[in-house]
A and B are shown apart, each in its own frame.
Chain A
């Protein structure tokens, strides 16, 4: 609907409503009088409360408000607006599953269709959190199953989801359409099978970077017969073989399928068959990109022709076990590609060149550092539309070779001026290169640099990396997410505090000299929501300096710093709306802990419903 259509429709609604429920002529409300004048005709019957008029209008207006920030603002105007907003909110986003209880959610919102839930903090991905810490989906699925029978969409990130949870979900929501599980664990192929089988309206089943146990269930065969409404099916993270014939059959009967991300158990020949069946695909995860080794008597399939036929492909990923000699088969789609993910493929600059030089429209590029500075220069030369770059380490150890450096970073900054987001792993870096990026790429909102050697200075000047990161926060005025690394003194943090006024997420590791650094950040960054710090010399004084902020932040994580139990307790006692958890890295309460006072990990977050009841034994809630 265009804006004019919608406002026209709205005033029609208002008029129709008023004709049925004309306001009383003796009403003192000026707005009621205004309505009366506009509609022209009214009868003198008993009027409804003007509030009802307003609420109805508000409902009509609010349906166009989708941004949750706007909706949150609306809900604060007055009780009436709060009520109407709650009735009309269909999508809810919960950034920390422990910030409220499921009961509170179901009490406030009565008509939810879509839920986004996030659980564990990001450092849990790196083994910094013991297993069984929490973030279970179970209480949420139980509560929402009762409250929202018309729920259509569930999107979970870093949650613990069991097969039983998935079964309950599949049973409880007849209109269920979209399931996305990102970085989740606790379930297996049997849970997926139930969802596939029972959710007859399923359009989206996306398993992204999740751990899926192999229960040896042929889940692909569990999709019901007949035409399928599937639009997106991603299972590239599933580390178990699949029934290819069943997959092919499913693809054949899914005319709306646009996104298909296969896992590494799908060979190149099988991929070819799928592509022939589904030329309408826009996003393709290519699986292994390696042929079966059964020797083929017949002619090899024409892979390039298959790519040529799939004119709509704009996004390619996979290449889990790729063979270089087949890589050029993707050439026909290169010019149309907006997103290319080579981050599982050990691709050399020599292999990259013929491909990347046709990728003029690429906006998102993920790769391994195997492409080297040379490959990055090739990207910089061609990919003028690049918005997001991620370079992962092929060999993620601290002292590995390091084929990318400031040279590549600087080249990218000079060639890709529209860059908005970068994640860059390297072994060595210079302030000069980082500063160049800050000057050449003013659109940067996300800057994450990981110099893998801890405490590494600028490898040319030997100085700390303070100036480089300082330039980033100073020049990139739209920066909302920052991850720092290398040798950093308190000065770097003074820059962050001084210039990082829009920063919402900050990641710090092995950096800083003293509590001053933490204080600069906590006092200087008013938008800071998520702070994750490890192995830095920050103690109780630094922690205390953020007391005024913690109620307004999603979470703070401090691990392997210099915190004491007393200092953490002070925070807990001063801020009743903040839950303060402390735990060790071990996950059980052994005789291993050094002293009773040392805090290995502090994780604090605001909560409306107090400390959680499901904390395991190794977690102490202060």
Chain B
């Protein structure tokens, strides 16, 4: 593989993107500028003297808006794209340490019926060579009746944040886990929004989603269209009836839940 130049400079200056004779696209020295114009950005324009790795990271960040990735690089949206003081460095991804990333849609690319092998009875066996033939027969008295567990992605929006996300409810077992995930999903986004609007820009945890004590409260819309507070019913019942989630300002609970809601009494905590 020798002889392949690693061109890491900005801008493919020498490259001709089109075969001779075709003019699909005006190729000129300002190619990179045009490419950059097409890139989506959040945050202040200009001042882009980064190298390719940073551009890639920027692109990653842009994409990350729409995904449930928990890359810490995400938190760079604080008006200062590549400040080294952030949780990740601006060195290319090799040294990026991801701590417990959340699920990305469709990754790894394994079909849904292959995903929950750990929860079928065979998971209790196997990989323990000490067991040999001595498998306890007392486990599943009944055959586990699972339906194929697909990722159950529901949309979640947050007041004050224009970008919606999605959460896979099948990945969690409790309201606490869900609350934790909501915090992770929106903390950065919320801070970015606040930074844009009033220059605060620091991140605060989103807490108290379930008890009404925090600044925000988690609500949901069920399959009958009713809007309810999250946390009242057993988890499985919640998962089976929820259609979408919304994080609202706690101060607006009563008005947010009034419309189309016939279960107002549930709201009184």
* A393 to B56 CA separation, bound complex (whole angstroms): 29
Chain B residue at minimal CB-CB distance from A510:
B107
Q: Which A residues from 523 to 549 make CB contacts under 8 A with B?
A: 523, 534-535, 537, 539-541, 544-545, 547-548
B6 in contact (CB, < 8 A)? yes
Q: Which of B67, B105, B140, B157 has the most CB of A within 10 A?
A: B105
Among A293, A322, A324, A586, contact of B133 (Cβ-Cβ < 8 Å): A324
Which A residues from 488 to 520 make CB contacts under 8 A with B? 489, 491, 494-495, 509-510, 513-516, 519
Cα A290 to Cα B143 in complex, Å, equals: 10
How far does the Cβ of A209 sit from chain B's closest Cβ, in whole Å?
A: 7
**Which chain B residues lie closer than 8 Å to A566 at the CB level?**
38
Complex contact A346–B126 (CB within 8 A): yes
CA distance A274 to B101 in the complex (A): 47
Distance in angstroms between the alpha carbons of A462 and B93 in the assembled complex: 11
Evaluate whether A324 and B155 lie within 8 angstroms (CB atoms) in the complex, with A398-B101, A537-B59, A539-B39 already known: no
Residues 67-97 of B contacting A (Cβ, < 8 Å): 67, 93-94, 96
Q: Which of B111-119, B177-185, B228-236 lies at the binding interface? A: B111-119
Is A396 a contact partner of B122 (Cβ separation < 8 A)?
A: no
Whether the Cβ atoms of B107 and A454 lie closer than 8 Å is yes
When distances are taken between beta carbons in the complex, the residues of chain B under 8 Å from A322 are: 122, 125
CB-CB contacts below 8 Å: B14-62 with A: 15, 17-19, 22, 24-25, 31, 34-35, 38-40, 52-53, 55-56, 59-60, 62
- Flag if B59 contacts A393 (CB, 8 Å): no
Chain B: minimal CB distance from A357 (Å): 16
- Find out whether the CB atom of A209 lies under 8 angstroms from the CB atom of B113: yes
Q: In the complex the two chains form, is A548's CB within 8 Å of B22's CB?
A: yes
One digit per residue, 1 when the CB lies within 8 angstroms of any chain B CB and 0 when it does not, for chain A 395-430 equals: 111110000000000000000000000000100000
- Asked whether A58 is an interface residue with its Cβ less than 8 Å from the other chain, the reply is no
A67 within 8 A of partner (CB): no
Inter-subunit contact B164/A590 (CB<8 Å)? yes
8 Å CB contacts to B: which residues of A353-373? 368, 370
Interface 9-mer from B144-152, B193-201, B213-221, B250-258: B144-152
Q: Are A125 and B164 in contact (CB under 8 A)?
A: no
Contact between B17 and A594, CB atoms less than 8 A apart = no
Residue of chain A at shortest CB distance from B57: A537
Instruction: Determine the distance from Cα of A600 to Cα of B164 in the docked complex, in whole angstroms.
Output: 13
Contact call B125/A346, Cβ cutoff below 8 A? yes
In the complex the two chains form, is A540's CB within 8 Å of B108's CB?
no
B93 touches A393 (CB 8 A): no
Known interface pairs A346-B123, A567-B38; A594-B117 also in contact (CB < 8 Å)? no
CB distance from B151 to the nearest CB of A (A): 6
Among B1, B59, B103, B147, the residue within 8 A (CB) of A239 is B147
Once bound together, how far apart are the Cα atoms of A544 and B16, in whole Å?
A: 12
Given A425-B110, A544-B24, A562-B63, A585 and B105 contact (CB-CB distance below 8 Å):
yes
CA of A395 to CA of B115, assembled, Å: 7
| B96 CB to nearest A CB, Å | 7
Which of B53, B120, B141 contacts A293, CB < 8 Å? B141
Q: Which residues of B contact A515 (CB under 8 A)?
A: 17, 35
In the complex, the answer to whether B38 meets A564 with C-beta atoms within 8 Å is yes
Tell me, yes or no, whether A237 is within 8 Å of chain B by CB: yes
A52 interface contact, C-beta 8 A: no
Q: How far is the CB of A230 from chain B (nearest CB, A)?
A: 25
CB distance from B220 to the nearest CB of A (A): 16
Nearest CB in chain B to that of A353: its residue: B129
Report the bound CA distance from A108 to B99 in whole Å.
58
Q: Identify which of A487, A494, A597 contacts B4 (C-beta below 8 A).
A: A494
A1 contacts chain B at the CB level, 8 A cutoff: no
Q: How far is the CA of A453 from the CA of B60 in the complex (A)?
A: 15
Cα A585 to Cα B68 with chains together (Å): 12
**Complex: A373 Cα to B217 Cα, angstroms:** 48
Q: Is the CB of A393 within 8 A of B108?
A: yes
A509 & B107 in contact (Cβ 8 Å cutoff) = yes
User: Would you call B131 and A324 a contact (CB within 8 A)?
Assistant: yes
Which residues of chain A are near B35, meaning CB under 8 Å?
515, 539-541
For the complex, give the distance between the alpha carbons of A494 and B2 in Å.
12
Question: Is B18 touching A545 in the complex (CB atoms < 8 A)?
Answer: yes
**Chain B contacts of A323 at CB under 8 A?**
125, 135
Judge if B66 is at the interface, Cβ distance under 8 Å: yes
Is the Cβ of B107 less than 8 Å from the Cβ of A398? Answer: yes
Instruction: Verify if A23 is at the interface (C-beta below 8 Å from B).
Output: no
* One of A324, A393, A564, A598 near B126 (C-beta < 8 A): A324
Q: Are B126 and A126 in contact (CB under 8 A)?
A: no
From known contacts A537-B56, A592-B155, infer whether A125 and B111 are also in contact, taking CB-CB under 8 Å: yes
* Cβ-based interface call for A128 (8 A): yes
Residues of A within 8 A of B175 (CB): none
Minimum distance in angstroms from B71 CB to a CB of chain A: 9
Contact residues in A for B140 (Cβ distance below 8 Å): 293
A520 to chain B, nearest CB (A): 10
A199 within 8 A of B: no
Residues of B within 8 A of A392 (CB): 110, 114
Residue of B nearest to A588 (CB): B155
Tell me whether B125 and A523 are in contact (CB under 8 A): no
Partner of B15 from the list A399, A487, A516 (CB cut-off 8 Å) is A516
The answer on a CB contact under 8 Å between B125 and A398 is: no
Task: Write the nearest CB–CB distance from A236 to chain B, whole angstroms.
Answer: 10
1/0 per position for B152-189, CB-CB distance to A under 8 A? 01010100001110100000000000000000000000
Cα separation A66 to B66 with both chains bound (whole Å): 47
| Known contacts A320-B122, A395-B118, A539-B39: A127-B151 contact under CB 8 Å | yes
Chain A residues with Cβ under 8 A from B131's Cβ?
Answer: 324
B121 touches A396 (CB 8 A): no
Q: Is B237 an interface residue (CB 8 A)?
A: no
Instruction: Note all chain B residues with C-beta closer than 8 A to A539.
Output: 35, 38-39
Say whether B100 faces chain A, with CB atoms less than 8 Å apart. Answer: yes
- Asked if A237 contacts B55 (CB within 8 A), the reply is no
* Docked pose: A290 CA to B140 CA in angstroms: 11
The answer to whether A450 touches B129 (Cβ under 8 A) is no
On whether the beta carbons of A452 and B108 are closer than 8 Å, the reply is yes
Q: Per a CB cutoff under 8 Å, which of B1, B17, B150 touches A545? A: B17
In whole Å, how far is A310's beta carbon from the nearest beta carbon of chain B?
23
Cα A460 to Cα B235 in complex, Å, equals 43
Min CB–CB distance A421 → chain B (angstroms): 17
Report if A324-B125 is in contact (Cβ < 8 Å); known contacts: A394-B118, A396-B114: yes
Residues of A within 8 A of B115 (CB): 396
Q: CB-nearest residue of chain B relative to A537? A: B59
User: Known interface pairs A398-B101, A562-B62, A598-B40. Does A513 touch B52 (Cβ–Cβ under 8 Å)?
Assistant: yes
Q: Within 8 Å CB of A470, what residues of B?
A: 1
B127 contact set on A, CB distance < 8 A: 346, 348, 370
CB distance from A138 to the nearest CB of B (A): 24
Interface residue B210 (Cβ < 8 Å from any Cβ of A): no
Q: Pick the contact of A516: B12, B38, B132 (CB < 8 A).
A: B12
A123 to B133, CA, bound (A): 41
Let me know if B121 and A321 touch, CB within 8 A.
yes
Tell me, yes or no, whether A38 is within 8 Å of chain B by CB: no
Chain B residue at smallest Cβ distance from A392:
B114
Q: Which 8 A-B pairs have the closest CB atoms?
A: A126-B106, A592-B164, A350-B129, A346-B126, A537-B59, A325-B133, A348-B127, A396-B110
Residues of B within 8 A of A (CB): 1, 4, 6, 12, 15, 17-19, 22, 24-25, 31, 34-35, 38-40, 52-53, 55-56, 59-60, 62-63, 65-67, 93-94, 96, 98, 100-101, 103-115, 117-118, 120-123, 125-129, 131-133, 135, 137, 140-143, 147-148, 150-151, 153, 155, 157, 162-164, 166
29 A–B contacts from the bound complex (CB under 8 Å): A126-B106, A126-B111, A127-B105, A127-B153, A128-B105, A321-B121, A323-B135, A343-B114, A345-B126, A346-B123, A346-B125, A346-B127, A368-B117, A393-B110, A399-B98, A425-B108, A450-B108, A494-B4, A514-B56, A535-B63, A537-B59, A539-B38, A540-B35, A562-B63, A564-B38, A566-B38, A590-B164, A595-B40, A597-B40
**7 additional contacts, CB 8 Å, given A324-B126, A350-B129?**
A288-B143, A368-B117, A396-B110, A509-B109, A510-B107, A545-B18, A591-B164
